[in-house]
């Protein structure tokens, strides 16, 4: 198994999402994780498509600063990848669940309906600041769930925690989702095939 | 984490597919694996939709026989789940790659095109022989790949081995697939949400 990129430049994922990390692991792409710790609420933007892109850019910039402030890394070129994913139901943003009760409310809303997964992605070069941003949208259809099915899901798994829509497509929630239109990896927070293409603009081959 | 089904009946997966096994693991569904070792070539059927269903039924029946022949299991009720997945490109069946050269040919055919993943599923009760069969179809769009991209994929991973279409949606091939229409788990060999619904006909709640 080849574990080194054919190009020597370092890839940094500006995210603490365990799903995004796993996407790189499964694709066998070596990546370093530096969470941005960016406060998403500090950005005010009413258009969701603009909002996710602006948050992604802000996250990437914060991680570039962390990277360049670290004496050991200074002048070492890196490509920072940042993303922000949100769920849209009938055009309305659905926030992340802070607790099991909120997760129950979110899943009750999603039950029997289609929703959109919206991801804004920013890629920035740490030295020359070359930047690309793009958007990906996937549609996810939930089966109709009873209250007890939702409750059982929440009681038998903690996968709702920290996840847009309070579910994880590849885990137990696969039992509820019989239709996706778009990139499945985007539903997990990063459209990997589009990312691969975009990275070619930075001469990065993954 | 609850690891026991609320109903006491045993679920048997009549498959040696590592992807199908993982789907149950990720969904936290306890399942016993008994491969059928059924010779798929023994069934002659020109209609692909009928073919995958007939193969699934034959696999399930073979595993029921194995189950009931085992003295330790006799009279213990079990639900056997069997499936057969095939790739259809422009209506033509694409077989599994027997080696890297065939995998290269298959991926070259899939490059830049949409193909269909067709799964036939059979569920049979080991005692009363209640049976349900169903079909699921997902559409997968591959990005256009260069020969060297395909070669690099095959050289850096063995995930093409034993897989319909010579790729795995959740692994390194996620870098090539930016669009799926249908069930993502069906692309991996078993549409888990439809399976959940069908199992309710056997009073099995997963």
Where are chain B's structural domains?
Answer: 10-202
Q: What is the pLDDT of residue B71?
A: 82
User: Is the pLDDT reported for residue A182 higher than 60?
Assistant: yes
Backbone angles phi, psi at B136, to 5 degrees: -135, 145
Closest CB from B182, B185, B197 relative to A174 = B185
pLDDT at A75: 80
Inter-chain touch B181–A181, beta carbons under 8 Å: yes
Flag if B194 and A178 touch (Cβ within 8 Å): yes
The DSSP output letter for B144 is: P
- Among B156, B175, B182, the residue with its CB nearest the CB of A196 is B175
Q: CA-CA distance, A177 to A16, in Å (whole number)? A: 25
For residue B76, what are the contacts with CB-CB under 8 A and spacing of at least 6?
B10, B126
Mean pLDDT of B5-15: 83
- Tell me the two tokens of residue B166: 């010579």
- Other CB atoms within 10 A of residue B146 CB: 9
Could you give the percent of chain B with pLDDT greater than 90? 90
Closest to B107 (Cα-Cα) out of B78, B64, B56, B147: B147
Per-residue confidence (pLDDT) for residue B8, from 0 to 100: 74
pLDDT one-digit tens code per residue, A79-116: 999 999 999 999 999 989 999 999 999 999 999 999 99
Say whether pLDDT at A3 is over 60: no
d(CA B163, CA B44): 21
Give yes or no for a contact between A165 and A117, defined as CB atoms under 8 angstroms apart: yes
Top-tier CATH class for B10-202:
alpha beta
- Chain B closest CA to A174's CA: distance in Å? 6
| A198/A194 Cα distance (integer angstroms) | 6
Identify the band that residue A2 occupies on the pLDDT scale cut at 50, 70 and 90.
very low
Instruction: Out of B26, B178, B193, name the one closest to residue A193 (CB).
Output: B178
- A25 touches B at CB < 8 Å: no
Q: State mean pLDDT over A14-27.
A: 96
Residue A4: pLDDT band with limits 50, 70, 90: very low
Please indicate if any CB of chain A lies within 8 Å of the CB of B172. yes
Residue position matching structure tokens 């023994």 = B42
**Among residues B106, B104, B111, which one has the least CA distance to residue B92?**
B106
**A181 at B interface, C-beta within 8 A:** yes
Task: Write down the pLDDT at residue A158.
Answer: 92
The span from the CA of A32 to the CA of A16, in Å, is 11
Chain A residue numbers touching B110 (CB-CB < 8 A): none
Q: Any CB–CB contact under 8 A between A183 and chain B?
A: yes
Nearest one of A71, A73, A203, A183 to A138, comparing CA atoms: A183
B15, two tokens:
């498959």
Which residues of chain A have a CB within 8 Å of the CB of B172? Answer: 26-28
Q: Confirm if B62 and B120 have CB atoms less than 8 A apart.
A: no
Tell me the residues of chain B between 148 and 167 that have a Cβ less than 8 Å away from chain A.
155-157
- The secondary structure of chain A in percent helix, strand, coil, rounded to multiples of 5, reads 35, 25, 40
Best residue of A26, A111, A199, A206 to probe chain B, by most B CBs closer than 10 Å: A26
Minimal Cβ distance to A185: which of B174, B192, B206: B174
pLDDT value, residue B5: 56
Test the B interface: residue of A20, A180, A189, A191 with most B CBs within 10 Å: A180
How high is the pLDDT of residue B2?
Answer: 41
**Chain B CB contacts of A155 below 8 Å:** 2
Interface contact B184-A182, CB threshold 8 A: no
Looking at residues A58-67, what average pLDDT do you find? Answer: 96
The pLDDT tens digits of the residues spanning A119-137 come to 999 999 999 999 999 999 9
Closest to A202 in 3D by CA, of A1, A7, A4, A2: A7
3-class DSSP state of B137? strand
Mean pLDDT of B173-190: 97
Q: Measured between beta carbons, which residues in chain A are less than 8 angstroms from residue B155?
A: 2
CA atoms within 13 A on the CB side of A154: 23
Q: Which helix (H) or strand (E) holds B118?
A: strand B114-125
How much is the pLDDT for A1? 39
The 8-class DSSP code of residue A149 comes to: H
What are the beta bridge partners of residue A135?
Answer: A120
pLDDT above 70 (res B184) = yes
**Is residue A66 very low, low, confident or very high in pLDDT (cuts 50, 70, 90)?**
very high
Confidence check: pLDDT of B162 > 70: yes
What are the tens digits of pLDDT across the range A31-51?
A: 999 999 999 999 999 999 999
A175:B196 CB<8 A:
yes
What is the average per-residue pLDDT within B107-127?
Answer: 97
Would you please indicate which residues of B are annotated as catalytic (active-site) residues? 84
- Under an 8 A CB cutoff, do A175 and B191 touch? no
- Indicate which residue of A39, A69, A70, A84 is catalytic: A84
A77 touches chain B (CB under 8 A): no
- Please say if the pLDDT value at position B1 is more than 80: no
What average pLDDT does the segment B108-113 reach?
98
CA distance linking residue B196 with residue B87, whole number of Å? 23
pLDDT digits (tens, 9 = 90+) for B56-85: 999 999 999 999 998 888 789 999 999 999
Task: Note the pLDDT tens digit of each residue in A132-180.
Answer: 999 999 999 999 999 999 999 999 989 999 999 999 999 999 999 999 9
Neighbours of A8 (CB within 10 A): 7
Assess contact for A170 and B170: CB atoms under 8 A: yes
């Amino acid at each position: 198994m080849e574990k080194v990129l054919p190009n020597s430049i370092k890839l940094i994922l500006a995210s603490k999402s365990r799903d995004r990390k796993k996407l790189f692991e499964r694709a066998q792409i070596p990546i370093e994780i530096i969470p941005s710790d960016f406060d998403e609420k500090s950005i005010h933007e009413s258009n969701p498509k603009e909002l996710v892109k602006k948050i992604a850019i802000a996250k990437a910039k914060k991680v570039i600063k962390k990277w360049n402030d670290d004496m050991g890394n200074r002048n070492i070129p890196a490509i920072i990848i940042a993303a922000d994913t949100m769920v849209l139901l009938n055009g309305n943003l659905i926030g992340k669940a802070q607790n099991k009760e909120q997760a129950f409310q979110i899943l009750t809303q999603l039950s029997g309906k289609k929703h959109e997964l919206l991801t804004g992605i920013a890629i920035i070069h740490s030295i020359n600041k070359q930047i690309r941003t793009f958007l990906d949208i996937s549609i996810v259809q939930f089966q109709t769930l009873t209250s007890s099915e939702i409750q059982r899901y929440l009681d038998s798994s903690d996968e709702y925690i920290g996840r847009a829509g309070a579910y994880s497509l590849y885990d137990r929630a696969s039992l509820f989702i019989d239709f996706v239109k778009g990139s499945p990896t985007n539903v997990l927070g990063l459209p990997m095939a589009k990312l691969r293409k975009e990275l070619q603009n930075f001469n990065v081959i993954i």
